[in-house]
Amino acid sequence: MVSERPMFPGAIGVSGLSVYEWAAEDGICGGSPHVHLACTEAYVVVEGRGAVHTLTAEGLRRTPLSAGSVVWFGPGTIHRAVNEDGALRAMVLMQNSGLPETGDAVLTFPPEVLADRGAYRRAASLAEASASHASDEDAARRRRDLAVRGFLRLAERVESGEVVALEEFYRQAIALVADRVDGWAKIVADGPGESVRRTGEHLAAIREGRVDHLLAATVRAETAPEPDDRRYGMCGRLDTYHLR
């Protein structure tokens, strides 16, 4: 009997997040504001205290975070993780594992940067900054600060009643990633789509009284990365798990 390699539940992505402690120009410590265009994201807070600042057509909202909190938000929710005590850590659950890593996450850079695909990718890429002899931390700080600058401008417009500013941002964000959608469709088919297909097969087997999929059961595990291997993500240092 050949074991069936189990998929992670729902084909979601999981990462550990230690939210940045760096203060931005508005005095708030935290990560880079950004939006997901096709994915829902959730935080399960492990320790510390903070908030997630979100911006939608409903306006600016601040949701407190503390150990045990669970908060999630869908596509189009611009969000900024805020670290209030220097110890905010969460497990991040991301729908459609693979999409955020391939461009579904768009940073809230100022409109003039969003309007130029090359300028956006240079500003968003830590690799390009490192090539110019900047450290990863310095590059991540600069990227965060630029995203905060754009976020503050956007939030001010939305809060003053210019909801059209959000539409303008969304259109710029979509233009940046439009050439990647076909690749995303394959990721979804191979991930969540495959998970649903397998469940359909298992239900059919149960209906027919077959146990072959149960006999093929096995276990998978993934250990946490070493602290020095944590990469600089949009919101903080990340423990990246490879679950596919």
- Domains of the chain: which residue ranges? 9-240
Span 228-242, average pLDDT: 90
Band of residue 244 on the pLDDT scale cut at 50, 70, 90: confident
**Which residues are CB-neighbours of 101 under 8 A, at least 6 positions away?**
13
| Secondary structure E strands in the chain | 13-19, 34-36, 41-47, 49-56, 59-66, 70-73, 78-83, 89-94, 105-107, 231-232, 236-240
Q: Is the pLDDT of residue 105 over 60?
A: yes
pTM value is 0.93
For residue 162, give the amino acid letter.
E
Bridge partners (DSSP) listed for residue 231: 238
CA angle 88, 226, 6 (to 5 degrees): 90
What confidence tens digit (pLDDT) does each residue in 19-37 have? 999 999 999 999 999 999 9
In whole angstroms, give the CA distance from residue 72 to residue 42: 4
Bridge partners (DSSP) listed for residue 44: 70, 91
The CATH superfamily label for domain 9-240 reads Jelly Rolls (2.60.120.10)
Q: What is the bridge-based pairing of β-strands 89-94 and 13-19?
A: antiparallel
Q: Supply the mean pLDDT for the chain.
A: 94
pLDDT computed for residue 2 by the predictor:
58
What confidence tens digit (pLDDT) does each residue in 57-93 have? 999 999 999 999 999 999 999 999 999 999 999 999 9
Q: Are 3 and 222 in contact (CB under 8 A)?
A: no
pLDDT computed for residue 227 by the predictor:
75
